[in-house]
C-alpha cells in the first residue's frame, strides 16, 4: 500500500485531532488519530488507547502529547510511548507526508516505538 489521503492542511488547527479510518493491509479499517501539534507539525497515531481501548482522537493535545480522556494516559505523538500512567504499552505511530495542502499517512510503515 501507499500513503493515503487523510485531510487537507486547512482541516486542522494547532492542537487539534481528527479520527480517520484507513484501509489496512487486510482490507479492514484501521482507526488513526491525525494530530496537528502546537508547533503545527503533523502526526498520525493509532486511535486506540493501549490501556483503556478508547479513542485518542477525543483526547486533549498539549505540545507533542495526546491525553486519553478516560484515565489520563498520555502518549508522545512522535514515538507512541506512554508518558503518563496508567498506560504502559506504546501505541503505533505512522509517517505523515504533507504534499502541498494534502496530508497523507502510510499505515504500512508503522514507526517502531523508541524508548
Percentage of the chain beyond pLDDT 70 is 95
- pLDDT, averaged across the chain: 92
* Predicted pLDDT of residue 21: 96
Q: Which domains does the chain have, with CATH numbers?
A: 4-105 (2.102.10.10)
- pLDDT above 50: residue 115: no
Secondary structure, 3-state, 69-106: CCCCCEEECCCCCEEECCCCCCCCEECEEEECCEEEEC
pTM of the entire structure? 0.90
State how far the Cα of 5 lies from the Cα of 22, in Å rounded to an integer: 9
Q: How confident is the model at residue 25 (pLDDT cuts 50, 70, 90)?
A: confident
State how far the Cα of 20 lies from the Cα of 12, in Å rounded to an integer: 13
* Predicted pLDDT of residue 91: 96
Amino acid at each position: 500500500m501507499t500513503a493515503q489521503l487523510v485531510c487537507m492542511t486547512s482541516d486542522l488547527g494547532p492542537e487539534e485531532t481528527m479520527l480517520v479510518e484507513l484501509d489496512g493491509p487486510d482490507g479492514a479499517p484501521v482507526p488513526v488519530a491525525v494530530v496537528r501539534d502546537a508547533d503545527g507539525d503533523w502526526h498520525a497515531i493509532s486511535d486506540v488507547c493501549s490501556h483503556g481501548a478508547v479513542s485518542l482522537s477525543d483526547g486533549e493535545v498539549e505540545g507533542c502529547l495526546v491525553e486519553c480522556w478516560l484515565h489520563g494516559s498520555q502518549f508522545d505523538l512522535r514515538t507512541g510511548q506512554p508518558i503518563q500512567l496508567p498506560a504502559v504499552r506504546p501505541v503505533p505511530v505512522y509517517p505523515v507526508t504533507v504534499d502541498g495542502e494534502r496530508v497523507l499517512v502510510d499505515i504500512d510503515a508503522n514507526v517502531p516505538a523508541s524508548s
